[in-house]
Amino acid sequence: MATLIAAETLRAGDVSVALDALRDACCAPGASTWLDEGVAADLVFSAEPEAGRAVLEGLLPGVDAIVQPATAREKRLLIADMDSTMITVECIDELADYAGIKAQVSAVTEAAMRGELDFAGALDARVALLAGLDEAVITRCLAERVRIMPGAKPLVQTMRARGATCVLVSGGFTRFAEPVAAEIGFHRAIANVLLVADGKLTGTVAKPIVDAGTKEATLAAETARLDLSHGETLAVGDGANDLPMIRAAGLGVAFRAKPIVAAAAGARVENADLTALLYAQGIARADWVGV
């Protein structure tokens, strides 16, 4: 199954172009159907899935293509990253801005998300730079800077309404992850705890650090707890610390991700918002919750 999702408009001619590309790649395409006319369509084909993905990704400007088995298409578990995935910012960079050191901290964040630095070490180093920052800045940052990513609420609330379990697992901080998870509709949030003393950040986080291993382990634990098949799981993120869970999920999605993540993920979303992951599950807009 290939699902085409447009950020703006998907034309019937675009679908025909995609079917021709699948045919030329020996993928034996069959029928195409609209999920939502002008926005998203399904294309069924019966051979060479990797070739199908290769020819469809990037074929149509402004259109994402998600290729996956047609079975177990609707997922029962979502494990999601927070920063730059479920929200539009990196919280630690925004906190650093209040301390006047955003450029210094964001450079380390970018390197860590590209997989160039050890995540735990990079987190400790960045948090250390925040030592002495007034605790009240956290609340201010949450109110002034943190914005929910378009499509996040419909994605989570629709999946939850249909019986799926949704868990936010972040290498960021509980002071952001918990209210964000509550607003979007996640069942729970897992994140790092910023340590505070006398109303000031100490420059440390509680150990053990929530990292790539935590994300992958949460996916495995929830899959076992819910007695799910591998194919019933979905993971989404954008940085290198999301790669293990993305690789381990039935459908692992790189969302507007760093190149190392986009190259390794089973699916990529570069153009559409997070509702692309509802279309990927065959859920049309008429059935969405939280819009």
CA 283 to the chain's CA centroid: 18
Q: Is 61 exposed, middle or buried (0-12, 13-18, 19+ CB in 10 A)?
A: exposed
- Name residues whose C-beta falls within 8 Å of residue 9's C-beta, 6 or more positions apart in sequence: 38, 39
Of 267, 274, 279, 281, which Cα lies nearest the Cα of 184? 274
What one-character DSSP code corresponds to residue 73?
A: -
Can 20 be counted among the known catalytic residues?
Answer: no
Beta strands 77-80; 233-237: pairing state: parallel
Q: What burial letters (b/e) apply to 157-179, b meaning 16+ CB within 10 Å?
A: bbbbeeebbbbbbbbbbbbbbbe
The one catalytic residue in 14, 42, 64, 83 is 83
Distance CA 236, CA 13 (A): 30
Residue carrying the six token digits 């408009």:
9
| Contact yes or no for 99/130 (Cβ under 8 A) | yes
Please say if 83 is a catalytic residue.
yes
The residue from 64, 81, 238, 242 that is catalytic is 81
The set of catalytic residues is 81, 83
